[in-house]
Structure 1
Amino acid sequence: MTRIDAKFATLTAEGKKAFVAYVMAGDPDYATSLELIKGLPGAGVDIIEMGLPFTDPMADGETIQLAGQRALEAGQTLQKTLDMAAEFRKTDDTTPIVMMGYYNPIFNRGVDRFLVDAKAAGIDGLIVVDLPPEEDDELCIPAQQAGLNFIRLATPTTDDKRLPKVLQNTSGFVYYVSITGITGSAEASAADVAPEVARIKSQTDLPLIVGFGIKTPEAAQSIASVADGCVVGSAIVAELAKGCSVAEVLAFVRSLSDGAHRA
């Protein structure tokens, strides 16, 4: 059982929905980012999604793209992202960390070496958006064998024919992308999301977490009420980009987690 599995077991026992927060590792710099990540559990975050900055983030909107650029310009690397997770683990051995990003940096490091290092650093799961199920032998299956969850994204265009393929080697949870398009674009609607969540949950026992387009505590509550929880990323990253202090960003995160936990 991974930390992700354990977290969902605890939340289910408590009758609570999950609140997942995404931040870009190294944005705007290593020290600030580490301080923010260390503060997330205290702000009510159940699972941390740590973005791995990459030069060509094709699934991300402007907010996340700019965060990645700031992180790269400040010297963030895959190794520093693993170091950040390891530093976090010195004081928190229970909050799950999911590394989210693209395959190129992992491929460049070498899959076997990366998985050993990620496990040692305390990473619990991976979301690699540019590796489709047809490439499961590349990273997904080795990751699961190494004890890491491999979390797959389902979208509004994942039809009933495609869905079983998406689900077959997924573990930890399923990430439902509530809107078509890139991160940070449209607003998610619970009315639109609810039937899709029901359709996917009829095909899997895994928790289903909804992300993209959630920007307010009210939206977090609304979306979490029709799923097993929600993810907020761009709205949190945008607060940091505005120059808010870590304390101010964490206060905003607390408002979002409170919303999700009211669901």
Structure 2
Amino acid sequence: MRRVEHVMGFPVSVRIDDEDFPRAPVDDLFAWLREVDARFSPFRPDSEVSRLDRGEVRTASPGLREVLDLCEEYRIATGGAFDVRLPGRRLDPCAVVKGWSVQKGADLLSAAGATRFCLNAGGDVIASGGPWRVGVRHPEHADRLCTVLDVTDRAVATSARYERGDHILDGRTGRPATGLLSMTVVAPTMTEADTVATAAFALGAEGVAWAAARENCEVFAVDAGRRVLRSAGFPGVAGPVVAA
């Protein structure tokens, strides 16, 4: 089964290789992502995040509380470099919401019996079963790859400047983080992979060692000087990309 929809501001595709997998869990996956977008988007004035930011909601729902707790955990872990509450700006937990919600969507598929699938959310990939090969885009050339990963039961997330420019800010300064061109993290869950990648990018050059030191995380980064930096266990291989 294969399906693609545009939700949360980016394309989301799913490929499920289990034979005769039912359609309903895939419907549930996309319904869940649409619900998250409606509730947690800071770009929607009627979302829970926007209403909480304006003081119209006093107590966050359990889901939003979980997201905000993760945001605070990473703010502390990065010494304030990762911060979703910058002065003069609206509350924006998108850096956690994306990975958190996509992981929960993958969990829905697994709970329904899917054992081998690839879920790609705007270039961040959950590879269940496997092995799957996932390409990491070159930060300066859209038609090139830096490397190809051979992954099984892992999530791969990249934070970079090539899609949205200098959109990741260093919370310590309030200015764009420019020490890295791209940061890719492989972790057991997309919640961790995506958030660690963004937090490390916000830290700049020091974020490479910070991310690599986190348990169960492997990293591949290109710094502003165009040096390639990777952790010893990063699962890079050569060969064609079959899932990216």
TM-score range relative to shorter protein: under 0.3
**Radius of gyration: which is bigger?**
2
TM-score, normalised with respect to structure 1: 0.25
Larger helix percent: 1
Larger strand percent: 2
Which of 1 and 2 has higher RCO (CA within 8 Å, sep 6+)? 1
TM-score, normalised with respect to structure 2: 0.26
